[in-house]
Amino acid sequence: MTYNQYSAETLLQLITQHDAEALAELYDRYAQPTYNLIVRMVRDQALADDILQETFWQVWQKAGEFSGRGAVAAWLFRIARNKSLDQLRRQKARPQVVETASQEDWELWPGDEVSVESVAEQRWEQEYVRQALEKMPDEQRECLKLAYFSGMSQQQIAAHTQTPLGTVKTRLRLGVERLERIFRAAGYQEQDFG
């Protein structure tokens, strides 16, 4: 079994044994969304690079402290967020409130004051879902996108794709099951799906 087939929890267990390849795989999976969060908070790419390295150094040193409750990604995200906040405190700055958020950001949280952390977390989750969808067969991915992102009913999807309704139902069921397996392998728990 190659490292890219291991769950994030398994990678953390291997990291506790100082398995550098496990850390490299975890880094490959989560570095970009983690970096995106950090840079949105500190608004400095060079500083974000340093904080990202500090974050994964802490993972290397303290992987055994992961409690097993919740997703590894969420634990990693908290480490990065805390390190970013520590840096901002050292600079006597505060996390930025996205006052000039894009229209898309405001549509996610209408009427609320949007923090950089919440926007970044939402972006990370969206990116993770996009990556998970890319791992699926084209037919299942298309049906899921039409159902969940375009709001089409199963009958509308069948008409749109010129596919029998039973086939659409099967593709949706198999697609949802595959997504659930991908998310569980990444450390998401039952309560994360609600």
* Domains (range + CATH), the chain: 1-94 (1.10.1740.10), 135-189 (1.10.10.10)
Q: How many Cα atoms occupy the beta-carbon half-sphere of 72 within 13 Å?
A: 25
Q: Quote the CA–CA distance of 93 and 70 in Å, as a whole number.
A: 30
Measured CA distances, 179 to 6, 79, 94 (Å): 16, 26, 37
What is the pLDDT, as a whole number, of residue 71? Answer: 81
Query: CA–CA distance from 23 to each of 34, 69, 111 (Å)?
Result: 14, 20, 40
The torsion region of residue 122 among left (phi > 0), alpha (psi -120 to 50) and beta comes to alpha
pLDDT of residue 2: 85
66 C-beta neighbours (distance < 10 Å), count: 19
What local confidence, expressed as pLDDT, does residue 21 receive? 93
pTM of the model: 0.50
pLDDT band at 59; cut points 50, 70, 90:
very high
Written as six digits, the tokens of 175 are: 């697609």
CA atoms within 13 A on the CB side of 101: 24
Alpha-carbon distances of 31 from 50, 96, 132, 163, rounded to whole Å: 12, 22, 16, 39
Lowest mean pLDDT among 14-28, 67-81, 151-165: 67-81
* pLDDT(96) > 80: no
- Answer with the residue of higher pLDDT: 185 or 48: 48
Query: 163, exposed or middle or buried, with CB in 10 Å at 0-12, 13-18, 19+?
Result: middle
Q: Is the pLDDT of residue 73 over 60?
A: yes
